Structure 1
Amino acid sequence: MILPIVRREVSGPSLSSDLHPVIDRIYRGRNIANMDDLENGLKGLTHFNVLKGMPQAAQILAHAVVQNKRIIIVGDFDADGATSTSVCILALRAMGYHNVDFLVPNRFDFGYGLSVPIVDEAAKQGAEVIVTVDNGISCIDGVTHAKSLGMQVVVTDHHLPGDVLPPADAIVNPNQPGCEFPSKNLAGVGVAFYIMLALKAELQQQGHFEKSGLAPPNLASLLDIVAVGTVADVVVLDKNNRILVHQGLQRIRAGKCRPGIKALVEVANRDCAHLTSTDLGFVVGPRLNAAGRLDDMSQGIACLLEDETIQARMIAAELDALNKERREIETGMKAQAESVLEQMALDEGDMPSALVVYREDFHQGVIGIVAGRLKEKYLKPVIAFAHQDDEIIKGSARSIPGVHIRDVLDEVNTRYPGVIEKFGGHAMAAGLSLPVAKLQDFERAFVDTARAHMAKLDGNHALLSDGDLSSKELCLPFAHLLRQAGPFGQGFESPLFDGEFALLDQRLVGQKHLKMVLKSDGANEVDAIAFNVDLKSWPNAMVKRVHIAYRLDINVFRGQETVQLIVEQIEAR
């Protein structure tokens, strides 16, 4: 599908005469109002005490540390959950506390979050205090059960809460009612990092480190992990999150990251010194996620916790193999899903406002990725379902800007009670489960409800461009300047440019990627690549000129840097 390219409207005075005009235009196109909004030093972070529930959480954990109570961290089975868990474990160890372990529910046996069976498992491990990370805000039954067993529970989460909050001893979640923390976009790992900062401060205030003969740890050393989890969870990169990601990236580029992160970068044939925020989401994140999708996220956590380089490389290699397996499964499922949609389109004659796909043989660990791929292709909210057991199916939803998918599910649940068993999530992604017998009822309700939300959009999906680049800007110095202008990501999108080029050469690489040599007026030749092209249209020897939407990138091969255009859309001229 060829989308219209719309150039961003940029108004107002220049932010600073020190900025390159194109960089200045990019920032203003992302609603940056002044240079203070671009602060990327740690002093620009909002203080942890602004988070509601933080004093209570810090006091509970400090008491547990001083009294050597058994703490069990209960995480989630995605990259955000793995990084959140690792941050807590490593921070506690750095504070001299070792009576801690973690549990991550296996998605195939336990499902999501602090469930009753997971609480029982924690009890077997002697848990006196449970700390949830990246989950817990919707786990009413699990928290209630833990309290009945005499445990203290600290819930740390970032997902949107329901009408009823769990009866935890402390809840830290920027999205809970009454929380004045300005960044509602913290990932689970961001909340976990803030919790550890507060715990360190509380222990310092109590004189714990002096009494123990320990130096207070520098928790900034964990920001490489925080950066990975923040980008991998695709949360909005507001000012606070940009600081966390920038600081983490700086550590990775300087070679001061965890051995496991370095090993994951290396196994993907990337160089830490040239890593970008995009790489965190497309290189490191998927390899961590592969463990939770196909096997056990404990393997991903082990990689982040590992101190020895050789062992970290071995675990990273196993995660890379899992990721390759995940891609193969995903490719097959995506083809099946598209076949289902093609048949549906033929039967109904018109594509509905939202899409629901389900096959009995879908793998529940990959449905989120499949939903995301279909969402990108059809530009509609998509839910992909897979079997959880014989009676219950589990769905993963992905949405488009302007359609808040959790709100849609909440509306379905209100208007059609009894169809959805449980749900939760964000604006762009959500999860749910329901009886397989209710699937048709749910599909009708979901499509009907989503139709009203889609009708509020202008109907014109488009690629937002930051304009054209001149010949003097299609060069390495400007590409480096652009890279330093980040980090870019969700809600602070990577710069996208558009322009016309002469197409000098074109060939397929990797069976489905179009490698090109392009030339614009007055510029040198430049390499470009378009991934996953329509093989019915490309390569095309008849085409000599193209209009492309592209991102300016730096390709590093055998130590040599060259400019490369990453083509998002290509149209013959």
Structure 2
Amino acid sequence: ELLDLVPLGTVSDVLPLDANYRILVAQGLRRIRAGSCVSGIRALLAVAGRSSEGLTAADLAFGVAPRLNAAGRMDDMTVGIQCLLTDDESAARALALRLDQLNEERRTVEAKMQQEALAAVRHLPDLAPGTVRHAGVCLFDEGWHQGVIGLVASRLKERLRRPVAAFAGADEHTLRGSARSVEGIHVRDVLDSIATRHPGLISRFGGHAMAAGLSLERARLDEFARAFDAEVARCTQGASADAIETDGELTPGEIALDTALALRAGGPWGAAFPEPSFDGRFGIRSARVVGDRHLKMWVEVPRTGRAFDAVAFNHLAEGTAGGYAPPEGVRQLVYRLEANDYQGERRLQLLIDHVLP
């Protein structure tokens, strides 16, 4: 009877979807789709504009989890706990609305921190893709919010395609950090190696392959940054930490709604069992910024006449759309296939992960 909570907890904490977890998450999603879930999950789905019918792990990851986690990041985690524990539908709705408000506050704080982090990154030398220096990036700002540094680290590692550790002040002597990694580099093992090679440098740490938390003395931040960079470089063993792996190219005929539905049925997808992504050359017919940070495009496969709706979520840092020039011409796109249900109609949409030259 608690199985509906399993996919939410598993996806929210980015746990690896091994064989056992996939079974549990799949069965939990099935219960939620059937309406056998706590009032809080129904309320959070409604606030997020998601339907329980056809629910996927991605809906939990991008619709429910950010709102639920916002309580602990911005205020008091008991708000989220109360939302999941109450049996009263109206109380669940009120708590879900409060979580939605906290999530908006979190987004505002995160946007400011992300802009500051990107500005700091521009001052790091030799941070071009494929370079050896700064295999792992370490950043700190006195004004950063402890509850949001993990999200900033996650956004940066997606942009830089290399592990990132972001720090905020815990007190006058201590920094608290959050590290996020890329496929192939186990960030908790990276921290473990640093702790072994540099005893006492890290006060405490914990986590898993893709995410970890740590604390250290303020005075030792530069020492940690050098150790983090060196250890990540050691883990890559000469390979490029910013490499993008895909499942290859699709033929024009395979870029279809039926393929998207088959991939959806093959889920749940998640950490350690990523949703298949593909790459290919596309001509960009049109591109515009929507919602200040998303890129909406109409793309076609060259010389075929086949064109598709496409969107790149969170393609821009918030507040930077004014000076952004949308891509033109023929580009290499890394994308996933989405069966998009909108206003009672189901259509194919390409979810763009990377826009490359």
TM-score (ref. length: structure 1): 0.57
What pairs with 1:94-113 in structure 2 (closer than 5 Å)? none
CA displacement at 1:469 relative to structure 2: 4.2
Task: Say if 1:500 and 1:345 are closer, same or farther in 2 by CA, change over 3 A.
Answer: closer
Aligned to 1:297: 77
| AA aligned opposite 2:347 | T
Secondary structure of 2:228's match?
helix
Q: Which residue of structure 2 lines up, in the alignment, with residue 447 of structure 1? A: 229
User: Displacement, 1:502?
Assistant: 4.0
Alpha carbons of 1:511 and 1:442: their partners in 2 closer, same or farther (altered >3 Å)? closer
Post-superposition offset of 1:327:
1.2
| 8 Å CA contact 1:355, 1:381 repeated in 2 | yes
Q: State the alpha-carbon separation in 2 of the partners of residues 463 and 339 from structure 1.
A: 27
The reply to whether residue 529 of structure 1 matches residue 311 of structure 2 is yes
Is 1:397 aligned to residue 179 of structure 2? Answer: yes
SS at 1:223's partner residue?
coil
Partner SS, residue 122 of structure 2: helix
Residue 159 of structure 2 aligns with an amino acid whose one-letter code is: K
Corresponding letter in the other structure for 1:234: V
SS in 2 for 1:272: coil
Contact 2:295–2:315, Cα closer than 8 Å, also in 1: yes
Q: Is the 8 A contact 2:311 2:349 kept in 1?
A: yes
Matching residue of 1:505: 286
Cα distance in 2 between the residues matched to 1:226 and 1:470 = 38
2:59 aligned with 1:279:
yes
Q: Is the 2:106–2:148 Cα contact (8 Å) retained in structure 1?
A: yes
CA shift, 1:298, in A, is: 0.8
* Conserved 8 A contact 2:17-2:271: yes
Unaligned runs of 5+ in 1: 1-220
Listed as ranges, the matches of 1:110-129 within 5 Å are none
Over 3 Å counting, the alpha-carbon distance change for 1:504 and 1:261 in structure 2 is same
**1:425/1:268 CA distance change after superposition, 3 Å:** same
1:551 to 325, 336, 339: 336
Pick from 260, 263, 271 the counterpart of residue 490 of structure 1.
Answer: 271
State the alpha-carbon separation in 2 of the partners of residues 547 and 445 from structure 1: 35
Deviations 1:266-315 (A, max 9, x none): 11111111321111111111111111111111111111111121111110
Match of 1:481 in 2: 262
Matched residue type, 1:391: H
CA contact (8 A) 2:160 2:242 kept: no
2:36 counterpart (240, 245, 256): 256
Contact 2:162–2:241 (CA under 8 A) maintained in structure 1: no
Alignment of 1:355 with 2:142, yes or no, is: no
Q: Is the 1:469–1:497 contact (alpha carbons within 8 Å) kept by the matching residues of 2?
A: no
553 and 393 in structure 1: CA distance in 2 versus 1, 3 angstrom threshold: same
2:159 match: 377
Cα deviation 1:355-406 (Å, max 9, x = unaligned): 1111111100011111111112222221111111121111111122332222
SS in 2 for 1:561: strand
Residue 561 of structure 1, aligned match among 334, 346, 353: 346
Tell me, yes or no, if structure 1 residue 311 matches structure 2 residue 91.
yes
Q: Which of 321, 326, 344 lines up with 1:539 in the alignment?
A: 326
Aligned counterpart for 2:116 among listed residues 331, 336, 350? 336
Amino acid in the other structure paired with 2:178: S
Q: Kindly provide the amino acid, as one letter, of the partner of residue 333 in structure 2.
A: I
Conserved 8 A contact 2:246-2:279: no
Confirm whether residue 365 of structure 1 aligns to residue 147 of structure 2: yes
Larger Rg: 1
Equivalent residue number for residue 413 of structure 1: 195
- Identity rate of aligned residues, in percent? 45
Residue of structure 2 in register with 1:34 after alignment? none
* 2:27 paired residue number: 247
Q: Contact 2:164–2:179 (CA<8 Å) still a contact in 1? A: yes
Using the TM superposition, name which of 425-434 and 438-447 deviates more. Answer: 438-447
* One-letter identity of the residue aligned with 1:416: H
Computed over aligned residues only, the root mean square deviation of the Cα atoms, in angstroms, reads: 2.4
Contact persistence 1:474–1:523 (CA under 8 A): no
Task: Report SS of the residue matched to 1:394.
Answer: strand
Q: 1:412 to 1:495 in 2, by over 3 A?
A: closer
Instruction: Name the CA shift for 1:369/1:561 in 2 (closer, same or farther; >3 Å).
Output: same
Distance in structure 2 (CA, Å) of the matches to 1:568 and 1:560: 24
C-alpha change, 1:307 and 1:469, in structure 2 (3 Å) is: farther
- Cα distance change, pair 269–345 in 1 and its aligned pair in 2 (3 A): same
Indicate the SS of the match to 1:362. Answer: coil
Residues 501, 546 of structure 1: 8 Å contact kept: yes
Paired residues, what number?
348
Counterpart-to-counterpart distance in 2, 1:307 and 1:435: 44
- Is the contact made by 2:162 and 2:242 (CA closer than 8 Å) also made in structure 1? no
How far residue 499 of structure 1 moved from its aligned partner, in angstroms, is 3.0
Paired residue secondary structure (2:3): helix
Q: Give SS of 1:383's match.
A: strand
Separation in 1, partners of 2:218, 2:349:
47
Consecutive unaligned residues of structure 2, counting only runs of 5 or more, are: none
For residue 466 of structure 1, report the CA deviation from its aligned partner: 4.3
Residue 436 (structure 1) shift: 1.2
1:331 and 1:405 mapped to 2: Cα distance? 25
Task: Tell me the amino acid that sits aligned with residue 560 of structure 1.
Answer: E
- Report the CA distance shift for 1:410/1:313 in structure 2 as closer, same or farther (over 3 A): same
